[in-house]
């Protein structure tokens, strides 16, 4: 990654479910590490979630719960500008301007829209069946999120790289047309090192993901956490037999999740599995202990943030104020450049 000094890192978090262990390892921890080096802005992309969530209470709940999870996991709202997208109306105004310099063909090739079309065609339906304009325009709104904050780098998962490249393209089109009056900074996507290796497996051994309904949510009560850990699949190798730790889901979760302070436990568990004599049941006990030790203090902070009237709302209101200050500066430049009054 390029030299972070004085550079802006921004990412959006779509509130479509409860935060799970995979999100912590693959997104939250790496983003918190980047926040130590960059000038960072992280936000809850609730209007992106509106393309699929049609229940006001549910969208409100997920927005709060995802924000509370990031704060509980250690996001420092003094250091990072932390806000909710729908609190920053400037983004949506810019989104319109950007849509006027974006080729429709570019949107036709965006992967989420293309996947929906391909599914429809395969099912013999109208290609655009069930596709709303929010899904179609999704990448333009995302470009507005990014460009309005004068972002240098955008940490994202692989699946979002195309959208960041689109944001760079769209900035280029705008600069080509209006660059003598206002110039957008060209953002770059980065896939942050999780430091943990591959994707975290879920309760069925596939990638842990909301879409597979196989997640371990971060902030379960202790007894529920224990129950879910018991459900992680293992094979029928007997207790005494030597085992390959790296092909077992509970060990992979342990290895990827364990904080530095539990490195010895991981190394010792690996040795014992390889030597034979440690059964899957005992491995799951070890995993539960490591998870619970790390998550218990976070869970307490999470629950405090989730109380009605907690400081969560103030934190987000302060974040929105900072974000709007920044966004309105850029938006006035854009308005002037295109000839809006």
Question: What is the residue whose two structure tokens read 């850029």?
Answer: 330
Asked if 73 contacts 24 with a C-beta cutoff of 8 angstroms, the reply is yes
> Residue 22 or 187: which CB sits closer to ligand ADP?
22
Nearest distance, CB of residue 221 and ligand ADP, angstroms: 21
Cα of first residue to Cα of last residue in the chain, in angstroms, is 40
Residue 210 touches which of ligand TRP, ligand ADP, none (CB < 5 to 8 A by kind)? Answer: ligand ADP
Nearest distance, CB of residue 212 and ligand ADP, angstroms: 8
Nearest distance, CB of residue 42 and ligand ADP, angstroms: 12
> Residue 170 or 190: which CB sits closer to ligand ADP?
190
> Residue 209 or 237: which CB sits closer to ligand ADP?
209
> Residue 208 or 229: which CB sits closer to ligand TRP?
208
Strand order in the sheet with 8-13: 81-84, 39-44, 8-13, 153-155, 188-190
What residues line the site for ligand ADP (CB under 6 A)? Answer: 14, 22-23, 25-27, 157, 199-200, 207-211
Nearest to 43 by CA among 172, 149, 128: 149
Tokens read off for 224 = 């529920």
Tokens read off for 255 = 């290895």
In the DSSP assignment, the letter for residue 26 is: I
Nearest distance, CB of residue 95 and ligand TRP, angstroms: 11
Tell me the CB-side half-sphere exposure of residue 41, using CA atoms within 13 A: 29
> Residue 110 or 228: which CB sits closer to ligand TRP?
110
What residues line the site for ligand TRP (CB under 6 A)? Answer: 10-12, 14, 45, 48, 142, 145-146, 154, 156, 160, 163
């Amino acid at each position: 990654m390029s030299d972070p000094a004085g550079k802006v890192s921004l990412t959006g978090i779509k509130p479509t479910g409860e935060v799970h262990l995979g999100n912590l390892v693959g997104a939250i921890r790496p983003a918190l590490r980047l926040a130590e080096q960059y000038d960072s802005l992280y936000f809850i992309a609730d209007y992106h979630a509106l393309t699929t969530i049609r229940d006001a209470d549910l969208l409100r709940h997920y927005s709060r719960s995802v924000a509370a999870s990031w704060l509980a996991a250690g996001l420092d709202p003094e250091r990072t500008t932390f806000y909710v997208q729908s609190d920053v109306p400037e983004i949506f105004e810019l989104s319109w301007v950007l849509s006027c310099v974006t080729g429709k063909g570019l949107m036709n090739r965006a992967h989420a829209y293309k996947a929906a079309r391909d599914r429809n065609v395969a099912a013999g339906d109208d290609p655009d069946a069930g596709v709303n304009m929010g899904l179609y325009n999704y990448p333009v709104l995302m470009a507005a999120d990014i460009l309005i904050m004068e972002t240098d780098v955008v940490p994202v998962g692989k699946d979002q790289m195309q959208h960041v490249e689109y944001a760079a393209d769209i900035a280029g089109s705008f600069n080509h047309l209006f660059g003598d009056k206002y110039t957008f900074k060209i953002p770059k996507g980065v896939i942050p090192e999780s430091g943990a290796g591959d994707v975290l497996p879920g309760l069925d051994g596939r990638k842990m993901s909301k879409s597979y309904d196989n997640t371990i949510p971060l902030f379960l009560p202790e007894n529920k956490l224990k129950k879910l850990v018991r459900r992680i699949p293992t094979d029928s190798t007997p207790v005494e037999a030597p085992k390959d730790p790296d092909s077992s889901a509970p060990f992979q979760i342990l290895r990827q999740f364990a904080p530095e302070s539990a490195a010895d436990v991981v190394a010792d568990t690996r040795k014992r599995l390889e030597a034979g004599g440690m059964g899957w049941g005992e491995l799951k006990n070890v995993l539960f202990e490591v998870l619970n030790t790390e998550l218990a203090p976070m869970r307490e902070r999470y629950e405090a943030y989730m109380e009605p009237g907690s400081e969560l709302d103030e934190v987000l209101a302060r974040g929105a104020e900072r974000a709007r200050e920044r966004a309105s500066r850029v938006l006035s430049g854009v308005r002037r450049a295109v000839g809006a009054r």
